[in-house]
Structure 1
Amino acid sequence: MGISDHNLSGKQKRNIAHFASVVRLAKADGFLSEGEEVLLKRLAKRFHILEEKYKEILNNPEDYPIYTPHSYEERIEHLYDLAKMVFADNEATGDEAKVLKKICVGLGFPIDNVEKVADEAIHLVLNDNDLDEFTNAIKKVNKI
């Protein structure tokens, strides 16, 4: 994280941290596919991440902490973005699933339920569920 990052708003810092988590997941298999790059560009635009910061995060995503949203709804939305990244290249590797589970813990999902939550998230994205369907299904699986 550069010195200029200290002047960012709280929301922008959260967006950058979330984006870095998505990048870590995208790079879990060692490379970025065309589909992953397209999704990353779309998320960067949605999070108002400038090109220079985009490249910095892409090169060193581990330099940014995992941000745990306070709201349960936000955590599920972040999980949705991450699960979509797993399949951005139309395949899921064991490494990507492993990283997704670690990030689920970082997002605040209970450790004893992370496997169920991550598996359900992957299943829902595979079946092209929208965010509302995804949210309802994750709430059923997580039962907090």
Structure 2
Amino acid sequence: MSISDLYSSGKHKQEIGHFSNIVKMAKVNGKISKEEEALLIKSAKKLHITVEEFTAILNNPEKFPLNSPVNYEERIERLYFLTKMILVDGEVDTLQVKLLRKVAIGLHFPFDNVDKVCDEAILLVRNENDLVNFTAAIKKVNSI
């Protein structure tokens, strides 16, 4: 196995972990709306998730670990897409916010600042900020 194979499989594990978190956000209220389903399909394609992986993750997202990226920019991007999933159907569920905060801690956002980061993330996505503006604002809120 070459070093590039190791990297790509590690990267794919991160993508699977990220996708499982997106699925958890969609399923937190017990049902997946049509808007959430469309975003799941789009996310799966972007993350190179196979049909078999998609089905397995959809059936049991808890089985797949987070595998947080090391790169700060990628962690912010993950937060962005998770926040988009919360707001895709126009509703913000308390359980979704609670899960977002847990995932943000798993993404290595500081525990003492995670509420502020997540509240800002929700506000930014609700106001339709793109990833570039979202990243800049989260860095500012997170003081990095």
Q: CA offset at residue 33 of structure 1?
A: 0.6
Q: Distance in 2 between matches of 1:59 and 1:43?
A: 16
Q: What residue is the counterpart of 1:4 in the other structure?
A: none
Instruction: Name the residue aligned to 2:29.
Output: 29
Report how many aligned residue pairs link the two structures: 137
Separation in structure 2 between the aligned mates of residue 89 and residue 31 of structure 1, nearest angstrom:
12
Question: Which amino acid letter does the alignment assign opposite residue 13 of structure 2?
Answer: K
Structure 1 equivalent of residue 13 of structure 2:
13
Q: Which amino acid aligns with 1:123?
A: L
* C-alpha distance after superposition, 1:61-109 (max 9, x if no partner): 0001112110110100000010000011111100000000000000000
User: Which 4+ residue blocks in structure 1 deviate beyond 3 angstroms?
Assistant: none
State how far apart, in whole Å, the 2-side matches of 1:114 and 1:67 are: 18
Partner of 1:85: 85
Any unmatched runs of 5+ in structure 1? 1-7
Please name the residue that 2:5 is paired with. none
Q: Find the counterpart in structure 2 of residue 41 from structure 1.
A: 41
| Displacement of 1:20 | 0.4
Q: Given residue 62 of structure 1, which amino acid in structure 2 is its aligned partner?
A: E
Map of 1:75 onto structure 2: 75
Partner secondary structure for residue 27 of structure 2: helix
Instruction: Tell me the distance in 1 between the aligned counterparts of 2:66 and 2:49.
Output: 17
**Distance in structure 1 (CA, Å) of the matches to 2:102 and 2:14:** 18
Distance in 2 (CA, whole Å) between partners of 1:113 and 1:15 is 25
Is 1:104 aligned to 2:104, yes or no?
yes
Counterpart AA for 1:72: Y
In the superposition, the TM-score normalised over structure 2's length comes to 0.93
Q: TM-score, normalised by structure 1?
A: 0.93
Q: Which SS does the other structure have where 1:129 is aligned?
A: coil
Partner-residue secondary structure (3-state), 1:9: helix
Return the alpha-carbon distance in structure 1 between the equivalents of residues 44 and 24 of structure 2. Answer: 14
